[in-house]
């Protein structure tokens, strides 16, 4: 019975991660916000350098609003996803076109491609904590803000 419960928890985590991933790739801020409300704990602990004073799910929603404003065609491809205990680690490739201000850089129309790694911790069947590392140096170079 213990192994079946572990398998059920792993399927639940994978399902929530996939739902959030699918929502993000719609490019629709309302769909993303609704999905965040469904799969993320309201008091989410978000460990990543983000340009907002918001906390919890509001911080996560604001990050996606900002990203979609800068890169309306943003697409996240999960290259690897590994589940262990109450955590899922995802290594992603992000692509998009720089069509809005981002990190103080005005729109360039440049195609961007960068890597990110996120660790999601689950509690009570929902995402409770997120740690993120994003290759912002690649973003800035591709937007022309920093010389290669």
Q: How would you write the chain as a 3-class SS string? A: CHHHHHHHHHHHHHHHHHHHHHHHCCCCHHHHHHHHHHHEEEEEEEECCCCCCCCHHHHHHHHHHHHHHHCCCCEEEEEEEEEECCEEEEEEEEEEECCCCECCECCCCCEEEEEEEEEEEEECCEEEEEEEEECHHHHHHHCCCCCC
pTM recorded for the entire structure: 0.86
- pLDDT computed for residue 14 by the predictor: 59
- pLDDT computed for residue 40 by the predictor: 93
Q: Is the pLDDT of residue 19 over 90?
A: no
User: pLDDT tens digits for 112-141?
Assistant: 999 999 999 999 889 999 999 999 999 999
User: pLDDT tens digits for 59-115?
Assistant: 999 999 999 999 999 999 999 988 888 998 999 999 999 999 999 999 999 999 999
Q: Is the pLDDT of residue 3 over 80?
A: no
């Amino acid at each position: 019975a213990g192994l079946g419960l572990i398998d059920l928890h792993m399927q639940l985590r994978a399902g929530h991660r996939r739902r959030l991933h699918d929502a993000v790739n719609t490019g629709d801020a309302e769909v993303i916000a609704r999905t965040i409300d469904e799969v993320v704990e309201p008091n989410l602990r978000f460990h990543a350098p983000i340009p907002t004073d918001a906390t919890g799910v509001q911080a996560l929603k604001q990050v996606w609003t900002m990203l979609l404003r800068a890169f309306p065609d943003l697409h996240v491809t999960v290259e690897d996803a590994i589940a262990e205990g109450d955590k899922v680690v995802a290594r992603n490739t992000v692509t998009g076109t720089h069509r809005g201000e981002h990190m103080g850089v005005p729109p360039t129309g440049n195609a961007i491609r960068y890597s990110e790694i996120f660790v999601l911790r689950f509690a009570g069947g929902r995402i409770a904590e997120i740690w993120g590392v994003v290759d912002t140096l690649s973003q800035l170079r591709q937007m022309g803000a920093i010389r290669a």
